[in-house]
Amino acid sequence: MNSLSDFVIVSAMLFGIGVYGLVTKRNALRLLFAVEIMINAANLNFIAFGQYLPFEGSAQTALPNAFGQTFVLFSIALAAAEAAVILAIVVVAYRLHRDVDVSELKSLEG
Amino acid sequence: MVLTVGSAIVALEAKEIVYGAIGLAGSLFGVAALFFLLDAPYVAVFQIAVYIGAVAVLILFTVMLVREEKWAKEAPATSATKIAGIVTGLAITIALVVAALDTNLDQYTTISNSATFVDIGQLISTGDAPILLVLALVLAASVVGALTLSRADREEPK
């Protein structure tokens, strides 16, 4: 549990679980869960690579390897905003259709 | 690691969606623990505060707000869909794992001078300051949009 490939493998497993959820589930909230899991897999990769791989030119800029962590901070904030919007859409869809099954929401279908 | 992956599976497979939400919170907590292991305590605390403190609670409230027996126990997916999902997820996982093991990732060790709060703060407030400002605007806009969406049809004539 100390080498870089361990974290990459955990991240790959989380991503696979997220893809499975996206393919299988039809409940809008479950889809949100799957997307959040995939976002976390990506964040884990960013932190792991930022912590292990040396950054070119980090000696000159005196900023060791904060880039991965900074990126993940922004990513977490974006994911929170996205979750808020999706939950609002779910509430509206439930109010209009009394259902959150995405295969039933066909009013926008061409 | 087991907590992270196991809770992620629970989040998607639990019969009651409330338990699924709790499983998602457990999975996010596991990722935060991995951040601690990776010597990134600031991001880990941020993850706990934002995800467990805000997003998980938000999801739990939504689940309870729109809860109904009809879909709280959702209809099981057809077996063809389920098999397709398992095959796709497994294929992507195996491909990524094989690709990761095929490289020489393990030759790298952790960098001794890992980033501190000061480094992150310097980076955010100097080089990445425009990103921070845009992100603040995006966050504000999305919250306003979410509020508007949730109260939109209250003003329509009955």
- Mean pLDDT for A10-17 is 90
**Identity of the residue in B40, B74, B147 whose CB atom sits nearest the CB atom of A51:** B40
What DSSP line would sit under A59-110, residue for residue? HHHS--SHHHHHHHHHHHHHHHHHHHHHHHHHHHHHHHHS--BTTT--TT--
| pLDDT, averaged across chain B | 79
Structurally, at CATH architecture level, domain B2-114 sits in Up-down Bundle (1.20)
Taking the C-alpha atoms of residue B28 and residue B30, their distance in angstroms, rounded to an integer, is 5
Q: What residues of A are in contact with residue B35 (Cβ under 8 Å)?
A: 44, 47
Using alpha carbons, select from B74, B34, B20, B58 the residue that is nearest to residue B142. B58
User: How confident is the model at residue A60, as a pLDDT?
Assistant: 47
CB pairs under 8 A between A and B: 243
Kindly state whether A13 is in contact with chain B, defined as any CB-CB distance less than 8 angstroms.
yes
Q: Are B56 and B21 in contact (CB under 8 A)?
A: yes
Taking the C-alpha atoms of residue B85 and residue B82, their distance in angstroms, rounded to an integer, is 5
CATH 1.10.287.3510 fits domain A4-97: yes
Residue of chain B whose alpha carbon sits nearest to that of A48: B38
Whole-Å CA distances, B92 to A77, A90, B88, B116, B135? 27, 28, 6, 34, 31
Q: Give the type of residue at A85.
A: V
Is ipTM beyond 0.85? no
- Structural domain boundaries in chain A: 4-97
pLDDT tens figures, B36-75: 888 888 888 988 988 888 888 888 887 777 766 555 555 5
| pLDDT more than 70, % of chain A | 82
Taking the C-alpha atoms of residue A21 and residue A12, their distance in angstroms, rounded to an integer, is 14
Whole-Å CA distances, B108 to A5, A51, A91, B54? 10, 10, 47, 35
- Mean pLDDT for A79-91 is 86
Q: What residues of A are in contact with residue B147 (Cβ under 8 Å)?
A: 88
Q: Please name the helix (run of DSSP H) or strand (run of DSSP E) that holds residue B118, with its range, or none.
A: helix B117-125
Q: Please tell me the least confidently modeled range out of A62-66, A72-76, B106-110.
A: A62-66
Taking the C-alpha atoms of residue A48 and residue A51, their distance in angstroms, rounded to an integer, is 5
User: How confident is the model at residue B113, as a pLDDT?
Assistant: 62
User: How confident is the model at residue A39, as a pLDDT?
Assistant: 93
Q: What residues of A are in contact with residue B133 (Cβ under 8 Å)?
A: none
Using alpha carbons, select from A51, A39, A50, A48 the residue that is nearest to residue A14. A39
Q: Tell me which of B10, B55, B83 to substitute to probe the interface with A (most A C-beta atoms closer than 10 Å).
A: B55
